[in-house]
Amino acid sequence: MFLENTIKNTSRSGWIEVICGSMFSGKTEELIRRLKRAEFARLKVEIFKPRVDNRYSEEEVVSHDENSIRSTVVDTAQNILLLSGDVDVVGIDEAQFFDKGLVDVCNTLAEKGLRVIVAGLDMDFRGKPFGPIPQLLAIAEYVTKVHAICVRCGSLANYSHRTSEEDSLVVLGEQDNYEPLCRRCFIT
C-alpha cells in the first residue's frame, strides 16, 4: 500500500537573498564576502553582472574598496539561466540594471534549489524604486539593507544623490556624479 507520508523529499530547497541600499553603502562588498565564504565552503559559485557596468573591470565584480571576484558578464537576465549550469550559488551584482525578467530568473533558480544572492540599488537618484529590486525584495527570503554615511551631516544615508545635471535614469559614475545623503539632506 502506498502511503503519502513515507515519501522522502530529497530535493534541496533554494532561496533568494537581496542586499540593497544606496551607492557607497557596501552592497558589492557584502556580496563578495558572501560569495567568497560559499567558495571557501567548497560550493560551486557563479557570479553575474550586467554588461553596462564596466566601471572598474570588464570581467570582475569590484567593490569601491577594490575587493574583487571573477564574474560572467551578461546582456539580459535570461542569460543567467542559460549560463548558471551546475552550481550551488548564483551571485548577481548591480541588479537594478537588469530587465524585469530578473525576478522570474531568480525564482526559477531558487526553485531549482540554488542559493541566489542579489545586490543592487533599491532607489534611483530621484529616490524612486529602481528596476526589478522592489519585486525581488518582495519575494526574497532574506533582505539586508545597508547604509552609507551622509556626506553632509554624518547620519545614515540611504539616498544616492546625483550631483551632475544629467537627467537620464542610468548614469554610471562614482563620487564624481553621486553622493550618499540621509533623508533630511536629500529632501532639502
- Half-sphere exposure of 11 toward its Cβ, with a 13 Å CA cutoff? 7
Q: At CA 46, angle to CA 61 and CA 12, rounded to 5?
A: 140
Task: Determine which one of 17, 30, 46, 94 is catalytic.
Answer: 94
Taking Cα atoms as reference points, which of 124, 128, 145, 108 lies closest to residue 17? 145
Q: pLDDT tier at 54 (50, 70, 90 boundaries)?
A: low
**At residue 165, what is the residue type?**
E
Question: What was the pLDDT predicted at 166?
Answer: 83
Domains delineated in the chain: 12-146 (3.40.50.300)
pTM for this structure? 0.87
Taking only the tens place, the pLDDT of each residue in 14-35 is: 999 999 999 999 999 999 999 9
CB 50 within 8 A of CB 97: yes
- Calculate the alpha carbon distances from 39 to 4, 24, 43, 171, 177 in Å: 37, 25, 5, 33, 34
- Whether 94 sits among the annotated catalytic residues: the reply is yes
